[in-house]
Structure 1
Amino acid sequence: MYHKWLDRWDEQRARRGEEAKKATAFVLDSSLAFPAEKRAGTVQEFCTLADRALTDSSFYDEPSESDHDFVMREGWLRFPSDLSTEVEENNLVWAKVTESGSLDQALVIFHHWNAGRRNRQISKFFSQRGVTVLEIAMPYHFERSRPGSLYAEDMLSPSLGRTIQSVRQAVLDGRKLIRWLRGEGYGEISVLGMSLGSWVAGLIAAHEPAVTKASLFLTAGSLADMVWTGRATRAIRDSLEPAIEISDLRKAWGLLNLESYAPNLARADLALHLVIATRDKVVLPELSRRFIEKLHEAGARPSVLELNCGHYSLAMPPYILLAGWSLKRFLSPEG
């Protein structure tokens, strides 16, 4: 009975999230994803460019070493993104910093798609336990929103190229912030990603050797499959489905598939922690389990917590308490 009520609550929450979303035109926008390449005119040409970029180990590398332009003021850190877009607000990165008074450990948090606020409770909890917390704004979120937009439609959309550009920008921004943290003297640096933020955190962990722990909440491997099957992305699928097959979408967004980087995530000096919801309709549990299998095949041994709740009800007790306690153990020095 309780879980039926929980499922209804998750569905009501999902419907509220749909109010601002609308189907928009499918576009390739290959020049946004691959600016140095010839513009793709077909889905097949786009997939060829994506396959080529997938073999380029530098795709998620920082384009510059300019770390002198960070400004810290009254608990806020801001710095310019190294990837410039036509939205001026999006080109300045903001992070809310909750300091612990210690340089032993820092945690960088990447929130879920369309997050409306940062999580003061998580930041306060960990800062009181010696972990400095930085809640970074992903592209087109919080202070970086496109003026007049009702949700972060540029971060995840039926534009194949803009979605890749946005995720790549998020990864570059996160790596730049982590590089700054190292320069400030922080020892252990961890990342925490939630839902879409878990893809960003996972990509950073796969490419940034300074990250020693990565916690991924409500995650999976294939972003294409998540968008195609997920409850929160129906408007995007409605735009994609008439124009592209799921098999081609997987190729086009192979750069965003964490399974593509399973060997990187399995490196010996990286600890992984995953939290999945077994009643999730946004990130289907079978997608999460397939990702875990790929990690095991690559030699990783992630700590996995499965909770019998939905995507949105993870935020409710007792599930959020169980997830938080598991994260606390994972981040502890002996974790």
Structure 2
Amino acid sequence: MYHSWLDRWDERRARRGEEGKERTALVLDSARAFPGAKKITNLEEFGVLANQAVADPSFFDEPGRNDQGFQRQDGWLKFPSDMFTDVEENNVVWAKITESGSFDQVMVIFHHWNASGRNRQIANFFSKRDITVVEIAMPYHFERSRPGAAHADYMLSPNLGRTIQSVRQAVWDGRKLIRWLKSQGYREISVLGMSLGSWVAGLIAAHDANVSKASLFLTAGSLADMVWTGRATRSIRESLEPEMKLTDLRRAWAPLNLENYVQNLARPDLALHVVLAKRDKVVLPDLSQRFMQSLKDAGAQPNVLELNCGHYSLAMPPYILLAGLSLKGFLSSADQSARRG
């Protein structure tokens, strides 16, 4: 009875999330995804460029490594993004810092798609436990929102190239922030990603050796599969389906598929923590399980917590409390090598 009510609650929450989302046309926009590449006109050519990006170990590396322009004041940090876009507000990155008074550990949080605000409760909880929390705004969210936009449609959309650009920008911004935090003296750096933010946090953890712990909430490997099957992205599938198949989208968004980087995520000095929802209709459980198996096949030993709730109801008690306590234990645990021993 309770879980039937919970499922209905998740469905109502999903319907509210659909407000303002409209079907739009498929757009390749390869120049945004792969700057400097030759102009392409079809999905097959786009897929070739996508595969080249997966094979390029520098695709998610920041250009220039410019540390200029960081401004910190009254608990806020802002700095210029190294990805220039046609939305001026999006070119400046904002982050909220909740200090712990200790430089032993800092956790960078990447929020979910269309988040309406940062999570002060999480920040306060961990800052009181000697973990500084930095909540970064992903592209086209919060202070970086596109004027007039009803939701963060430029972050995830039927525009294949802009979606790759946006996720790549989020990774660049996160890595630039992490490098700055390292320069400030923080010893251990962790990342926490939620839903779409888990793809960003996962990509950063896979490509940045400065990250020692990564916690992924409501995650899977293939972003294409999540968009095609998920409850929150029906408008995107409806926009794409007349023009392409799921196999086409998998090829196009291959650089955003965490399963393509499981060897990086399985490195010995990275600890992984995952929280999944058994009743999730946004990130389907079979997609999550496939990703978990890929990680284990690569030699990773993720600490996995599965809760009998939905995607949105994870935010409700007792589930959010259980997830928070599991994350607390993970962040407080010994290093990865000690656990493997």
| Bucket of the pairwise TM-score, normalised by the shorter protein | over 0.9
Q: What SS does the corresponding residue of 1:206 show, helix, strand or coil?
A: helix
Does residue 136 (structure 1) correspond to residue 120 (structure 2)? The answer is: no
CA distance in structure 1 between the aligned counterparts of 2:218 and 2:112, rounded to whole angstroms: 9
Residue identity opposite 2:191 in structure 1: V
What is the CA-CA distance between 1:241 and the residue it aligns to? 0.4
1:98-247 equivalent positions in 2, closer than 5 A: 98-247=98-247
Tell me the number of residue pairs that the alignment of Structure 1 and Structure 2 aligns.
Answer: 335
CA distance in structure 2 between the aligned counterparts of 1:195 and 1:134, rounded to whole angstroms: 18
Residue identity opposite 1:134 in structure 2: V
Q: Which residue of 2 aligns with 1:43?
A: 43
CA distance in structure 1 between the aligned counterparts of 2:22 and 2:308, rounded to whole angstroms: 30
Runs of 4+ in 1 over 6 A off after TM superposition: none
CA distance in structure 1 between the aligned counterparts of 2:222 and 2:66, rounded to whole angstroms: 32
Answer with 86-95 or 17-26: which moved more. 17-26
Residue identity opposite 2:44 in structure 1: Q
Q: Which residue of 2 aligns with 1:257?
A: 257
Q: Which residue of 2 aligns with 1:314?
A: 314
Q: Which residue of 1 aligns with 2:20?
A: 20
Q: What SS does the corresponding residue of 1:63 show, helix, strand or coil?
A: coil
CA distance in structure 2 between the aligned counterparts of 1:41 and 1:52, rounded to whole angstroms: 17
CA distance in structure 1 between the aligned counterparts of 2:140 and 2:314, rounded to whole angstroms: 24
What is the CA-CA distance between 1:24 and the residue it aligns to? 1.0
CA distance in structure 1 between the aligned counterparts of 2:54 and 2:210, rounded to whole angstroms: 22
Q: What SS does the corresponding residue of 1:324 show, helix, strand or coil?
A: helix
CA distance in structure 1 between the aligned counterparts of 2:39 and 2:213, rounded to whole angstroms: 38
What is the CA-CA distance between 1:274 and the residue it aligns to? 0.3
CA distance in structure 2 between the aligned counterparts of 1:266 and 1:194, rounded to whole angstroms: 20
Residue identity opposite 1:130 in structure 2: D
Residue identity opposite 2:293 in structure 1: E
Q: What SS does the corresponding residue of 2:151 show, helix, strand or coil?
A: coil
Q: Which residue of 1 aligns with 2:95?
A: 95
Q: Which residue of 2 aligns with 1:62?
A: 62
Per-residue CA shift, 1:174-201, capped at 9, x if unaligned? 0000000000000000000000000000
Residue identity opposite 2:11 in structure 1: E
Residue identity opposite 1:269 in structure 2: D
Q: What SS does the corresponding residue of 1:209 show, helix, strand or coil?
A: coil
Q: Which residue of 2 aligns with 1:330?
A: 330
Q: Which residue of 2 aligns with 1:73?
A: 73
RMSD, aligned CA: 0.7
What is the CA-CA distance between 1:25 and the residue it aligns to? 1.1
What is the CA-CA distance between 1:301 and the residue it aligns to? 0.3
Q: Percent identity?
A: 71
Per-residue CA shift, 1:117-144, capped at 9, x if unaligned? 1000000000011011000000000000
What is the CA-CA distance between 1:287 and the residue it aligns to? 0.2
Runs of 5+ consecutive residues of structure 1 not aligned to the other structure: none
Residue identity opposite 1:229 in structure 2: T
CA distance in structure 2 between the aligned counterparts of 1:272 and 1:36, rounded to whole angstroms: 35
Q: Which residue of 2 aligns with 1:301?
A: 301
Residue identity opposite 2:19 in structure 1: E
CA distance in structure 2 between the aligned counterparts of 1:66 and 1:160, rounded to whole angstroms: 28
CA distance in structure 2 between the aligned counterparts of 1:234 and 1:197, rounded to whole angstroms: 19
Q: What SS does the corresponding residue of 1:328 show, helix, strand or coil?
A: helix
What is the CA-CA distance between 1:333 and the residue it aligns to? 4.3
What is the CA-CA distance between 1:68 and the residue it aligns to? 2.5
Residue identity opposite 2:105 in structure 1: Q
Q: What SS does the corresponding residue of 1:175 show, helix, strand or coil?
A: helix
Does residue 34 (structure 1) correspond to residue 34 (structure 2)? The answer is: yes
CA distance in structure 2 between the aligned counterparts of 1:52 and 1:234, rounded to whole angstroms: 29
CA distance in structure 2 between the aligned counterparts of 1:88 and 1:9, rounded to whole angstroms: 37
Q: What SS does the corresponding residue of 1:44 show, helix, strand or coil?
A: helix
Residue identity opposite 2:169 in structure 1: Q
CA distance in structure 1 between the aligned counterparts of 2:300 and 2:57, rounded to whole angstroms: 20
Does residue 2 (structure 1) correspond to residue 24 (structure 2)? The answer is: no
CA distance in structure 2 between the aligned counterparts of 1:147 and 1:154, rounded to whole angstroms: 12
Q: Which residue of 2 aligns with 1:284?
A: 284
What is the CA-CA distance between 1:334 and the residue it aligns to? 3.1
Per-residue CA shift, 1:16-40, capped at 9, x if unaligned? 0001111111100000000110111
CA distance in structure 2 between the aligned counterparts of 1:12 and 1:67, rounded to whole angstroms: 44
Runs of 5+ consecutive residues of structure 2 not aligned to the other structure: 336-341
Q: Which residue of 1 aligns with 2:338?
A: none
Residue identity opposite 1:286 in structure 2: D
Q: What SS does the corresponding residue of 1:48 show, helix, strand or coil?
A: helix
CA distance in structure 2 between the aligned counterparts of 1:36 and 1:139, rounded to whole angstroms: 22
CA distance in structure 2 between the aligned counterparts of 1:292 and 1:155, rounded to whole angstroms: 25
Q: What SS does the corresponding residue of 2:295 show, helix, strand or coil?
A: helix
